Amino acid sequence: MTRIAAIQMVSSHDLQANLARASQLLQEASASGATLAVLPENFAFMGHKETDKLEIAETPGRGLIQDWLAQQAREFGLWIIGGSIPLLDHGLKLPFAACVVVDDSGHEQARYHKMHLFDVDLPGGESYRESNTLAPGLNPVVVDTPVGRIGLSICYDLRFPELYRDYAATGAEILSIPSAFTQTTGLAHWDVLVRARAIENLAYVIAPNQGGQHSNGRMTFGASQVVDPWGKVLGRLQNGTGVVLADIDLDQLRQHRQSLPCLSHRRL
Ligand SMILES: NC(=O)CC(=O)C(=O)O
């Protein structure tokens, strides 16, 4: 059994304040015995305008937020999945929303770019156009960690089950979904989608969310959670900042996959 932590935050436009709060929560996770912690989407920064993120964008492998991730991992002896930070690759006009995974020595082990961008007009009038300020990622990414094989994704990706099916087929045992789900869509869809991804893939899901009112006026849903392969919610936090802890038991996962082998019953 290995303990993991989903970190819930209410990030603002104050980068230093966000990193200081995240650090307290990572320390709490480590002191509670976690081996790996996942920070939510936009953990380091939620600007007033969508374009504000361009000001804090870093180049892959270099920058204040990536250095901070490495230092925190070393200090607390944690693997950290850094929900998302804007990373601008050479020659590109727009950054990726990148999920950077560092090991407990502070070395980067994987990097995933959010594949599905949140371009929506919701019935109540809320509109989002992530593709104005972000480039879409092209590839699924799995990473082997001391906790198990993890399939990486970010927020809106949650709505695309084929990504997680691909991860299950690649041997992923844990699905990581750091998010900043809106209050409106979270209320309607978050819990059911998170549990569905766990049940249909017989995988653990770790889904840390942003949860509260942000300095830009935006409301996010919270309800960060860890779900086991049978769909049981092992831990959940509705609002505000905090740490959700859960124990991963890969023997139990294998038993579930053996007794209900729907992953090998697929016909398409
Ligand atoms: N914020 C997102 O990327 C996605 C979201 O809120 C939703 O899918 O709903």
Please report which confidence band the pLDDT of residue 34 belongs to, taking 50, 70 and 90 as the band edges: very high
The mean pLDDT of 239-257, rounded to a whole number, is 98
How does pLDDT run across 91-134, given as a tens digit for each residue? 889 999 999 999 999 999 999 999 999 999 999 899 999 999 99
25's tokens: 């929560």
Predicted local confidence at residue 50, as pLDDT: 86
How does pLDDT run across 191-202, given as a tens digit for each residue? 999 999 999 999
Residue located nearest, by CA, to atom 1 of ligand 1:
181
Q: Which of 58, 99, 130, 155 is catalytic?
A: 155
50's tokens: 């969508």
Q: Round to whole Å and give the CA distance between 63 and 93.
A: 18
Please report which confidence band the pLDDT of residue 243 belongs to, taking 50, 70 and 90 as the band edges: very high
Please report which confidence band the pLDDT of residue 90 belongs to, taking 50, 70 and 90 as the band edges: confident
Whether the Cβ atoms of residue 161 and residue 200 lie closer than 8 Å to each other = yes
DSSP 159-193: G-HHHHHHHHHTT-SEEE-----BHHHIIIIIHHH
- Look up residue 197 and give its amino acid: R
Predicted local confidence at residue 91, as pLDDT: 86
To the query of whether residue 114 is one of the catalytic residues in this protein, the response is: yes
Q: What value does the mean pLDDT of the chain take?
A: 97
Domains of the chain from N-terminus onward:
2-264 (3.60.110.10)
Q: Round to whole Å and give the CA distance between 11 and 25.
A: 13
Predicted local confidence at residue 152, as pLDDT: 99
To the query of whether residue 232 is one of the catalytic residues in this protein, the response is: no
**Could you tell me how far CA 123 lies from the centroid of its own chain?**
26
Predicted local confidence at residue 124, as pLDDT: 87
How does pLDDT run across 8-28, given as a tens digit for each residue? 999 999 999 999 999 999 999
Predicted local confidence at residue 94, as pLDDT: 96
Ligand 1 neighbourhood includes 117 CB (under 6 angstroms): no
Predicted local confidence at residue 233, as pLDDT: 98
How does pLDDT run across 40-50, given as a tens digit for each residue? 999 999 999 88
How does pLDDT run across 131-153, given as a tens digit for each residue? 999 999 999 999 999 999 999 99
Q: Which of 99, 114, 130, 173 is catalytic?
A: 114
Say if residue 258's pLDDT is above 90.
yes
Residue located nearest, by CA, to atom 6 of ligand 1:
181
The dihedral formed by the CA atoms of 239, 212, 246 and 157, expressed in degrees to the nearest 10: 140
According to DSSP, the residues that pair with 23 across neighbouring strands are none
DSSP state of 210: B
**Could you tell me how far CA 102 lies from the centroid of its own chain?**
14
What percent of the chain clears pLDDT 90, i.e. is strictly above it?
Answer: 94
Nearest-atom number in ligand 1 for the CA of 158 is: 8
Residue 55, sorted as left (phi over 0), alpha (psi -120 to 50) or beta, turns out to be: alpha
According to DSSP, the residues that pair with 39 across neighbouring strands are 82
To the query of whether residue 155 is one of the catalytic residues in this protein, the response is: yes
Rounded distance from Cα 180 to ligand 1 centre (Å)? 7
